[in-house]
Amino acid sequence: MQHTAGDLADMLKGLVEGDSQVIVNQLSKIELASSGSLTFLSNPDYERYLYTTGASVAIVPTTFTATQPLPAALTLIRVTDSYAAFAQLLEFASAAMALPRTVHPAAVISESAQIHQNVYIGALAVIEDGATIGEECEIHAHATVGRNVRIGTNSKLHSGVQVLDNCIIGSGCTIQAGAIIGSDGFGFAPQAGDGYKKIPQTGNVILHDNCEVGAATTIDRATLGSTIIEEGVKLDNQIQVAHNCTIGAHTVIAAQTGIAGSTTIGSRCMIGGQVGFAGHLKIADGVKIAAQSGVTTSIKEPDSVWQGTPATPIKDYQKRQIALRNLSRHRLMDRLEELEKIQQNTRTSS
């Protein structure tokens, strides 16, 4: 990218303070920026770097007031929301680096697959029988699209992704490297003696529009019916979603969370990292669950906040933690001191 501060201000609906003709050609972190870089300030903890940055242009909030002299070569662009403005520029820069719409000669594509216009398919990608790839999709190297899979428009499968038979991916979805959509659910029936018999997993996964699935995340196909990820869900890396789960629209889940089978998580939930869910639970809309919690029962109260193992309303959890700290610091220690004195008195008297 190469743009003047004035051009960028017009794009962001911001106000230039300094040289509107200064040219930038890269985006940089504020503490590492050099001449020709564009950076931004949104977190007050990073303000100190603004006074020493080598960047040519910085995006700042309209309310920002400098408390020290700024570098003489620095031009500011003032906007209402500097973080959102910088995110907009990142999207712009990412679009400029879009892959060419070509099919690599080393891709393996079934004759019965339907590939729409303006797609990118990388080397050694595999598109199996009956699959449908929508317009403007990107299927990167070594990705696999199974039999009868349907992928909507403008979706991206990064390197090593596997979308297995009969699964459905909506439009505008991004699946990061190594994720697996539609692997078998963990279904085994105990047999007489010590053995287990595998239960065939005949369902699929449906990923609705504008979802993102992180690297190495796995979403299991349903035993019957569908595992459903609704519109706008964002899943971090290394998450396990078991068979027949449903995750409601615009829910976000952080890394290493595990969700056991047939659990339903509502819309607009926020789930911290390493949270574990037992199976067959129902979680209401808007629920927030703190990292490393263990959810063992259904949560029926919308917009509530939970923490701990087993997870409880966060105020109850905090009260218990305070009580434990007080117990260890005061009452328990006092009691031990009393017992030691009793022992000493007993020894002395005997």
Tens of pLDDT, residues 94-153 = 777 778 889 999 999 999 999 998 999 999 999 999 999 999 999 999 999 999 999 999
* pLDDT reported for residue 1: 67
Report d(CA 337, CA 350) in Å as an integer: 20
pLDDT value for 120: 97
Known catalytic membership, residue 243: yes
Q: Which residues neighbour 42 within 8 Å (Cβ) at sequence distance 6 or greater? A: 61, 81, 82, 83, 86
Question: Which pLDDT band holds residue 329 (cuts at 50, 70, 90)?
Answer: low
**Would you give the DSSP letter of residue 7?**
H
Strand 57-61 with 23-24, pairing: unpaired
Beta-carbon contacts of 36 under 8 Å, excluding residues fewer than 6 positions away, are 23, 24, 25, 26, 56
**Arithmetic mean of pLDDT over the chain:** 94
Long-range Cβ pairs for the range 113-118 (8 Å, 24+): 113/145, 116/153
Cβ neighbourhood burial of 5 (10 Å; 0-12, 13-18, 19+): buried
| Domain layout of the chain by residue ranges | 3-96, 108-313, 320-350
Catalytic residue among 3, 158, 208, 243: 243
Residue type, 235: L
More confident residue, 324 or 81: 81
Torsion sign (Cα): 287, 288, 292, 293 = negative
Task: Tell me 46's DSSP state.
Answer: G
**Cβ pair 147, 131 in contact under 8 A:** yes
Which CATH topology does 108-313 take? UDP N-Acetylglucosamine Acyltransferase; domain 1 (2.160.10)
C-beta separation of 211 from 231 below 8 A: yes
The contacts of residue 133 (CB under 8 Å, 6+ apart) are 113, 114, 115, 116, 119, 121, 127, 139, 145, 151
Tell me the per-residue pLDDT of 190-234, one tens digit each, with 9 for 90 and over: 998 889 999 999 999 999 999 999 999 999 999 999 999 999 999
Going by pLDDT thresholds of 50, 70 and 90, the confidence category of residue 333 is low
| pLDDT of res. 328 | 59
Dist CA 281 CA 39 (whole Å): 45
- Mean pLDDT lowest among 8-12, 24-28, 343-347: 343-347
Same fold, 3-96 and 108-313: no
The predicted structure's pLDDT at residue 180: 98
Does the predicted model carry a pTM greater than 0.75? yes
pLDDT reported for residue 319: 87
pLDDT on residue 192: 86
Q: Which residue has the higher pLDDT, 304 or 2?
A: 304
Distance of CA 155 to the CA centre of its chain: 17
- The per-residue pLDDT for 95 is 76
CATH, domain 3-96, list 3.40.640.10, 3.40.50.1100, 3.40.50.10090, 3.40.1390.10 = 3.40.1390.10
pLDDT recorded at residue 330:
58
